[in-house]
Chain A
């Protein structure tokens, strides 16, 4: 594979912070300088060269091999180019990513796509809790871009999410869309229990929902033009990763009426 490759020398004994390790940043550095970049979180630090074997030369693509759940902030700050990861990644994957593409051939930990504003993330397997959610100190969760998760995601996905899209091939956990302000979560395997707690706006789409909060209300069956637009847009931009279009008529569940109630859960009309 062309470009720079970082191969983990041995299973990490401490957490590794790859925030800001992007193709654009590495392209301006020599291999020697790259090897001395600090990716440790402990007092003595940890140089990339001590944790990874470095091969290839910097280009638009960065490959990380042999990774594990201790690699945090993979793709953090990514603004262009491509990062491919073979293996699992830890928390905060794609944190504040603004462009480019991040592909993880494994699982991702908590807070996937937190603060993300643009670009595309593709996790081939599962993701943890708070995908697209916010971190303490943030005003919002996910703010743009698209994250596609091949498996399931955990609880509270999209907490305080304002824009962007999360597509889940599997199912979401409980309290999806808690305090959601905007954006879309499309779960092809179904929406977990009690979604949309204090949701203001935004859209949750799925074939079913496990259970609803009492503050969500049935708005009837509708042929929504916006569903056609979304289906066509995702097909054109994501290709095979796009979710399968919903039936022409969807059941709109509006809420959370305990907040301003402009959010919606869209299910196939029965």
Chain B
């Protein structure tokens, strides 16, 4: 039984999410501008774990008081199928995108009982000129580079209690208004710690279903939610729906994902109706695949 909040209909359904492995990394630089640049590049092409190898995004910006070296920083999160699957992602993304960024340094961004290599690969760029400094439980590698030294912590924490695939689908009759509402939801979610929205700008316009008619395709377009196919397929869309946008949420804990969904739903229902938003629903697989179910009616 759906319910209506501020003129937006909310389906009685749930988002089905999966257990994942997650890690956090702090990137600092001489200025927030350059920390943000390094973080943005390092998390690029980190949308879907299936196609990109990892789901990555910026969690939040850090003040100098919050970073190990007292410089401005950004905390990024990465999610993958397993700790082993994250190892090459970290090595390549940090090695290609952070090591190369002027003035950057890189530290553990998650305290957890289990850890994973952070500087174990990039340190070899030092070609034998790298040195290490151990302080307490942390070991920092100093890799000589052309603007001084690239400092990178040897390990960062990793958790296998992370959640990937929290989601909501926002339906509306005005595409521009729908996008503005989705943006507002992403901004609200960004204020929640320990979560990311890994797709471009946090928003997905190409929601997928599992499988396809073509061999070798793991996922394909979610035809039931494509407005241009309404009438020709078994559609989930009403006659007034012009477009659908999805927000996918990954978090280090299930609670963080639930909090983020709550924030996103509130943002949509607060202002959505006047922007043409008519309905909110969520993606699931009948509850048989994902361990985590987030019922929309419990979160609003």
Binding site for B on A (CB under 8 A): 144, 163-165, 182, 184, 201, 203, 222-226, 228-230, 232-233, 237, 262
Give the contacting residue for A203; candidates B129, B133, B136; CB below 8 A: B133
Contact B132 A230 (CB under 8 A): no
Q: What residues on B are CB-neighbors of A163 within 8 Å?
A: 134
Is A223 in contact with B151, judged by CB distance below 8 angstroms? Answer: no
| CB of B140 within 8 Å of the partner chain | yes
Task: Tell me what chain A mostly uses at the interface: helix, strand, loop, or mixed.
Answer: mixed
Smallest CB-CB separation from A225: which chain B residue? B151
Contact pick for B70, options A203, A224, A232, CB 8 Å: A232
Interfacial chain B residues near A229, Cβ < 8 Å? 68-69, 133, 135, 140, 151
Give the size category of B's interface with A. 10 to 19
B131: chain A residues within 8 A (beta carbon): 201, 262
Would you call B136 and A224 a contact (CB within 8 A)? Answer: no
Query: Contact between B149 and A230 (Cβ–Cβ < 8 Å)?
Result: no
Smallest beta-carbon distance B131→chain A, Å: 5
Whether the pair A233, B132 counts as a contact (CB closer than 8 A) is no
Question: What distance in Å separates the Cβ of B81 from its nearest Cβ neighbour in chain A?
Answer: 33
Once the chains are docked, how many angstroms separate the CA of A49 from the CA of B68? 49
**Once the chains are docked, how many angstroms separate the CA of A212 from the CA of B18?**
61
13 additional A-B residue pairs with CB within 8 Å, beyond A222-B148, A229-B140, A237-B136: A165-B135, A203-B133, A223-B148, A224-B148, A225-B69, A225-B105, A225-B148, A226-B140, A226-B142, A226-B151, A229-B151, A233-B136, A262-B129
B residues within 8 A CB of A223?
148
Judge if B71 is at the interface, Cβ distance under 8 Å: yes
A222's nearest neighbour on chain B, judged by CB, is: B148
The smallest C-beta distance from B217 to any residue of chain A, in angstroms, reads 46
Question: How far, in angstroms, from A140 to B134 measured CA to CA in the complex?
Answer: 16
- What's the minimum C-beta distance from A235 to chain B, rounded to whole angstroms? 10
Q: Is there contact, CB below 8 Å, between B71 and A228?
A: yes
A259 smallest CB distance to B (angstroms): 13
3 tightest CB-CB pairs across the interface, nearest first?
A228-B69, A225-B151, A233-B135
